[in-house]
Structure 1
Amino acid sequence: MRVEVVRRFAWFTLFYMLLVILWGAFVRATGSGAGCGDHWPLCNGVVVPREPKLETLIELTHRLTSGVSLILVVGLWFLSRKAVPKGHLLRRAATWSVVFIIMEALIGAGLVLFELVAHNASLKRMFSMSAHLVNTFALMSSLCLCVWRAQAGEVRREALMKDVLRVPVILVMGVLLVLSGMTGAIAALGDTLYSGFGPIPLQAYLDGEVPFLLRLRLVHPVIAIVTAVAVLLLQSRHWDAYREKLGSVLGWSFSGLILLQVGLGFVNVQLMAPVWMQLVHLGTGVLLWVVYSFFSFFVIDKSK
């Protein structure tokens, strides 16, 4: 089998996964996570619910599209084993993708079975949302690596972790982006649970007069701005990557998306986080992570 076929399939899977992530955010933002009750994998105890409510349709659609994503990732794993020999990084990236997509399913099931959905404002849900985001980022990076390594003629054995450790700046950038994303997930949860709250004076936050999750909403903008500045400064240490066309495209895209994401964050706050703006903000964040992954792979390859 031609490796080019695997690369195209990996691209399709990556794009499809982005759509699944956005729909999952729509489920959370609309409070539809309990649309199927506390049943999983069944919906309200049945395979096909009769006369379902809107929130049931939203949640059920997410489950079905997530199931398709699992099939696609397993298919990518199978194709990778047909296309490249044992030891190729493409195989391992596809295996990691399978592991992370299974983890996604387990986290999603846990949210439903333990009723960490809808109007649940517990710390368990907060930590679960953060873990969900970290696993999603890991899954997207694994799929990006499948795309990156699906190159004809590359048959050498590769040790990615050793390569990453040779470029510690890339690792630090990733950690900062993940931390910012985790606080963003918590802030988005607060926006969903307390969407009826109007503008709140700063003093009310400081005096503890607002719910805990809303108070945490102040943390995300600060961390996001600090992360943006730090990542841009760290990225400048790899200015030599811009000398090549691909490196220049990835580098400038990465920088531009960082600035765009910060701007969207301010707009999101000013608009009081409407659902559509939450989806735009999240979609840009995931796209930023995808471009970061590709830029990292480029820098790592050039460091060898």
Structure 2
Amino acid sequence: MSGTLSMPRAAGAWLPRLAWAALAYNVLVILWGAVVRITGAGAGCGDHWPLCNGVVLPQSPELHTVIEFSHRLTSGLSGLLAIGLVALAFQTTPKGHPARFGALLSLGLIILEGLVGGVQVLLGLTADSTDPARGFVQGVHLANTFLLLGALLLTALWASGAPRLRLRAQGLVGAWSGVGLLLLLLLGMAGAVTALGDLLFLPADGSTPLATVKRDFGPAAGLIENLRVVHPMLAVMTSAFLVWLGTFLRRERPGTEVHRWSGALWALIGAQMVAGFANVALKAPGWMQLTHLLLACALWLVTALLVFHALTGLRVRPAAGRA
């Protein structure tokens, strides 16, 4: 195993705490963002951004305004946490420490997250909008969200003394790990489009899933409806690949952490598949969508942890003279 990184005692006490706290907090912000979508409160501040209905602090706001404005406030606090993370990383770690890079990357992705959200509001791609561009923006938003969580995770690991991430000369371990992460990223983007389609087009009657699929490809269906079927198909393919990836990494990079996180990955895949079927069967109630999203975030983070420990571990080679 690669050597761990040393840092001043003060950083060992505060930098990892802030990094892990920022990661957990951003998961909560993501879930609250889903509440904004589910409740249709995305237009609660009108088409104004970063102001809310043209003012800094809305007066006598309605419920949708409260929901949207609170999401903006919690997102703003994410930015402040990221700035604090950068400042603390540069104050307490030596030049060239990877935690500095992780903190800067996290801040950049949080800024991009805010800009994507702002574009969505300014273009009116909120509330009941069925513009196909809304599906594209939702997918980009989710991809950036996953990348942000990954950056915060790396920052927390490096701040805690984990080794640098080496990407060169990783062979098939690096290649297949990259494929797994890319598939998860695409799955999340497709899931964001499907969740949007469920919000806008899911019938309130007792239609069967097959009837819903037929309607999604009917003459009156739009692009967002057409794309809803991609997510479950991609979910099955990605799940099968990740199950294999866990087995592959256990063989190629055996170690305690790889075994631990591959086991966690398999458990989460099972839980997410059950949640996905339940979401369809129950016609995507809000609480089930939040559960599905939380499991998706956990699945992304656990896969990232598995890949990180596989890439920072050394291959165990047979002793000389053995077959």
Q: Shorter-chain TM-score: what band?
A: over 0.9
Please name the residue that 1:185 is paired with: 192
The alignment partner of 1:121 has SS state of coil
> Aligned match of 2:64 in 55, 71, 79?
55
Please name the residue that 2:318 is paired with: none
> Aligned match of 2:174 in 140, 155, 167?
167
Please name the residue that 2:320 is paired with: none
Alignment of 1:1-304 (within 5 A): 1-152=10-161, 158=164, 160-162=166-168, 167-198=174-205, 199=207, 201=211, 202-240=213-251, 243-303=254-314
- Indicate how the Cα distance of structure 1 residues 204 and 131 shifts in structure 2: closer, same or farther if over 3 A, else same: closer
Mapped partners of 2:291, 2:305: distance in 1: 21
Contact 1:176-1:231 within 8 A present in 2 as well: no
Q: Deviations over 1:228-263 (max 9, x none)?
A: 001211221111478533332211111111121111
Mapped partners of 2:169, 2:107: distance in 1: 23
Mapped partners of 2:179, 2:203: distance in 1: 37
Mapped partners of 1:177, 1:71: distance in 2: 28
The alignment partner of 1:100 has SS state of helix
- Indicate how the Cα distance of structure 1 residues 118 and 144 shifts in structure 2: closer, same or farther if over 3 A, else same: same
Contact 1:29-1:192 within 8 A present in 2 as well: yes
Please provide the CA RMSD for this pair.
Answer: 2.0
Mapped partners of 2:67, 2:170: distance in 1: 40
Please name the residue that 2:4 is paired with: none
Mapped partners of 2:162, 2:308: distance in 1: 18
- Indicate how the Cα distance of structure 1 residues 241 and 70 shifts in structure 2: closer, same or farther if over 3 A, else same: farther
The structural deviation recorded for 1:193 is 1.2
- Indicate how the Cα distance of structure 1 residues 205 and 34 shifts in structure 2: closer, same or farther if over 3 A, else same: closer
| Amino acid across the alignment from 1:162 | R
The structural deviation recorded for 1:71 is 0.4
- Indicate how the Cα distance of structure 1 residues 192 and 205 shifts in structure 2: closer, same or farther if over 3 A, else same: closer
Mapped partners of 2:215, 2:162: distance in 1: 61
The alignment partner of 1:263 has SS state of helix
Residue range with higher mean Cα deviation, 28-37 or 160-169: 160-169
The structural deviation recorded for 1:179 is 1.0
Q: Deviations over 1:254-292 (max 9, x none)?
A: 111112111100000000001111001001101111111
TM-score relative to the length of structure 1:
0.93
TM-score relative to the length of structure 2:
0.87
The alignment partner of 2:126 has SS state of coil
Contact 2:174-2:311 within 8 A present in 1 as well: yes
Q: Deviations over 1:99-138 (max 9, x none)?
A: 1000001001111111111111112111101110111111
Q: Deviations over 1:203-222 (max 9, x none)?
A: 44454454442332222111
- Indicate how the Cα distance of structure 1 residues 4 and 245 shifts in structure 2: closer, same or farther if over 3 A, else same: farther
- Indicate how the Cα distance of structure 1 residues 192 and 163 shifts in structure 2: closer, same or farther if over 3 A, else same: farther
Contact 1:104-1:135 within 8 A present in 2 as well: yes
| Amino acid across the alignment from 2:77 | V
Mapped partners of 1:219, 1:243: distance in 2: 34
- Indicate how the Cα distance of structure 1 residues 207 and 106 shifts in structure 2: closer, same or farther if over 3 A, else same: closer
Count of aligned pairs = 301
Contact 1:4-1:151 within 8 A present in 2 as well: no
Structure 2 alignment gaps of length 5 or more: 1-9, 316-323
